Amino acid sequence: MTEGTEIALICGQGALPGLLARHAPDALLVQMEGFEADLGGRPAQSFRLERLVPLMEQLLDRGIRRVCFAGAVQRPRIEPEFFDARTATLVPRILTAMQSGDDAALREVIAIFEDWGLSVVAAQEIAPDLLAEEGVLAGSVTEADRRDAARAAEIVAALGPLDIGQGAVVAQGLCLAVETLPGTDAMLAFVGQHSALKSDPKCARGLLYKAPKPGQDRRIDLPAVGPRTVRNAAAAGLAGIVVAAGGVLLLDRAATLAAADEAGLFLWARA
């Protein structure tokens, strides 16, 4: 076995893979076919889920013992003809995981990597400054906003056991939408198309709330907010974004706060 890089980043889509790649300049970058991200010009090794066992053995042969999953990955289409014999033995586990909720599926992914002797580390271990610290980070929060945030937090916590999503939109105490498989952007687009659902257009405009699911394994799929989230929340007519302090990643903090200021939205990391 040769000595090699100590950690591999399993890269999905979005801004997070590039951010972590800058924090871990010696990491090996690995990317699933069909899921591309801006990695700052660094090369990435491509792989298919159907050949997962050869990938894990390649990592071990290079001296890698730790992996970090970075970025969003929609459930890939499985092509049976691409399976190698050893990965094919994992088909029942892979298919069961893909038919489960996101958290259950990702727990199984972690278990498979750990079975091969690879430990999974969280993105916030590599870049702890990405976590949103407690406090109002942009704009100002009204008492009506605080009530809506409390209501949204209750909703997301209640949905946790169902393993559905990590966010909700609440305005004037009413739940306008919850996050499901299509994700946050789709939820905000829906809210923008149904702004008339708010009971009084002169009262609180509403907010997006994001938090990890109760009991979620925080080594993977931690919720994230970035400049695009801010722009989409503004387009949906919301007053701001609330995140669970210490449980949500801020992607490009400076740009995110600047986008909130420009759009006139508040950004609050709620304890």
Instruction: Read off the pLDDT of each residue in 178-207 and give the average, rounded to a whole number.
Output: 89
Tally helices (H) and strands (E) across the chain.
Answer: 10, 13
Integer Cα distance of 88 and 10 in angstroms: 21
d(CA 238, CA 191): 9
Residue listed under structure tokens 């008492």 = 143
Q: Measure Cα distances from 166 to 76, 139, 225, 263 in Å.
A: 21, 23, 12, 23
Q: What would the pLDDT profile of 4-56 be if each residue is shown by its tens digit?
A: 468 999 998 889 999 999 999 999 999 988 888 889 889 999 999 899 999 99
Residue owning tokens 């990890």: 212
Q: Which residue has the higher pLDDT, 77 or 255?
A: 255
Q: Flag the least confident range among 1-5, 38-42, 194-198.
A: 1-5
Please state, rounded to an integer, the average pLDDT across all residues of the chain.
Answer: 92
| 268, burial (CB in 10 Å: exposed 0-12, middle 13-18, buried 19+) | buried
Residue 177 tokens read as 């939408």
All structural domains of the chain, each given as residue ranges with its CATH number in brackets, are 7-126 (3.40.50.20), 131-270 (3.40.140.80)
pTM as predicted: 0.90
